[in-house]
Amino acid sequence: MNIALDASVLELPPTGIAKVTAGLSHACLAHDPGLTIGAFHRLPLRLTFQGRITAHPIGRWVPHQYWRSLVLPRAVRHADVAWFPWNGNVPRLQTSGIVASTIHDVLPLIIPGYFRTPGDEERYRARVQQDLDRSDVIFTDSVYSRQQIVTQFTATHEPVVIRFGPTMTPLSPDAPVGRTGDAPFFVYVGGYDRRKGIEGLVRLFLALHTDGRIRSRLILTGTPQYFSATFRDAVREAVARGAVEERGYVDEPTLAGLFHHARALVYPSKYEGFGLPPLEAMTAGCPVITTRATSLPEVCGDAAVYVNPDDTRAFADAIVSVETDALLRERLRATGFAQAATFTWEAAAATFLGALHTALQKRRHA
């Protein structure tokens, strides 16, 4: 079997979608020695492949919309599988093979106020439905996302859930960890996004420091992008008072070091299609504080301290407990390791390739 991969997402600075796409591709090659994968892209790749994946840069000077509608369909038309891993974006194809798309989530329909106008929502719904209609196999990240897809859309094929493995290599003895100092800290990993609950988290740490309830500061990772003036001002005040530190984007070895030394990952997101940071934290032996919202309980199981980020008092008590209770942290580390071990790339590859083989057989018999 040969797979033609739309590698457009790998042209961007590495995101969770890019990392799991690369991880799943490598796992599939390890699972099936006869498999070949060609990665088709327009711009230089930011996240490169290893092994038997061949990169095919094509049509660099063609405008993006024409590249996707004209150049890419011609390039993938002879493949057994044309795979679109970046939330669909499936062009019109004429192929003897099958089309597979990964729709990681449909959170825009869940997040209140996401769309500015009813027309924006209608266009989003039409695009996702078109992707579903053009796909022979649909993959998604969680049972929660699958339920939302089949509830919100007409899916001819039942979406297949792929439980991704960790994309981060655990800390090695000589890995750089950046500056940590002697004071304890918690870590937040993810975008500066309102849906992640980051503004409330910053304000909470500032209040805990002001009241003298904790010594730990909060380290924020991710490119600073302030979604409002009030959020920007809250971060600046918390930084000035020593409650918060901004690290910006950090590479994976440094992130592994932060996980290794942190009291816990604090991840108060209400809207997730999967939740890669908690999985990475558990893999690295870092306790997790998160919410029971959307897909996060699927990822964390019984290995996290769950909070309601809208209940400020209980959220604060949870942070204080994790900082001060060493036995609690050790229990969370142990259960986190066990929970993370249930997410393997071998299992993800077997599920992914099994679904593709089944769809190919149906196509050939038809």
Number of domains in the chain: 2
Residues 201 and 160 in one domain: no
Residues 325 and 355 in one domain: no
Phi, psi of 220 (to 5 degrees): -95, 130
**What pLDDT shows up at residue 170?**
66
Residues 6+ apart with CB under 8 A from 11: 41, 42, 43, 44, 45, 46
Q: What is the CB neighbour count within 10 angstroms for residue 219? A: 20
CATH number of the CATH domain containing 352: 3.40.50.2000
Give the model's confidence band at 178: pLDDT under 50 very low, under 70 low, under 90 confident, else very high. Answer: low
CB contact at 8 A, 189 and 257: no
Residues 150 and 198 in one domain: no
- What are the tens digits of pLDDT across the range 288-313? 999 999 999 999 999 999 999 999 99
Is 126 domain-assigned?
yes
Q: What is the CB neighbour count within 10 angstroms for residue 157? A: 12
**The two three-digit tokens of residue 357, written as one number:** 């083989």
**What pLDDT shows up at residue 202?**
97
Which pTM was predicted? 0.92
Residue 280 has pLDDT above 70, yes or no: yes
Q: What is the domain extent for residue 115? A: 2-165+344-365
Residues 66 and 146 in one domain: yes
Looking at residue 161, the DSSP 8-state letter turns out to be E
**What pLDDT shows up at residue 182?**
61
Is 329 domain-assigned?
yes
- What are the tens digits of pLDDT across the range 188-245? 998 899 999 999 999 999 999 999 999 999 999 988 999 999 999 999 999 999 999 9
**What pLDDT shows up at residue 364?**
83
Residues 313 and 360 in one domain: no
Is 172 domain-assigned?
no
**What pLDDT shows up at residue 137?**
97
DSSP H or E segment with residue 306: strand 305-306
Is 174 domain-assigned?
no
Residues 145 and 15 in one domain: yes
Residues 67 and 211 in one domain: no
* 66 CB-contact burial (10 Å; exposed 0-12 / middle 13-18 / buried 19+): exposed
Percent of the residues in the chain that have a pLDDT greater than 90, as a whole number: 86
- What are the tens digits of pLDDT across the range 313-327? 999 999 999 999 999
Round the average pLDDT of the chain to a whole number and report it.
93
Residues 196 and 61 in one domain: no
Q: Which of 159, 26, 6 is nearest to 81 (CA)?
A: 6
Residues 154 and 189 in one domain: no
- What are the tens digits of pLDDT across the range 37-94? 999 999 999 887 777 899 999 999 999 999 999 999 999 999 999 999 999 899 999 8
Residues 60 and 121 in one domain: yes
Is 20 domain-assigned?
yes
Higher pLDDT, 121 or 51: 121
Residue 173 has pLDDT above 50, yes or no: no
Give the model's confidence band at 15: pLDDT under 50 very low, under 70 low, under 90 confident, else very high. Answer: confident
Residues 322 and 356 in one domain: no
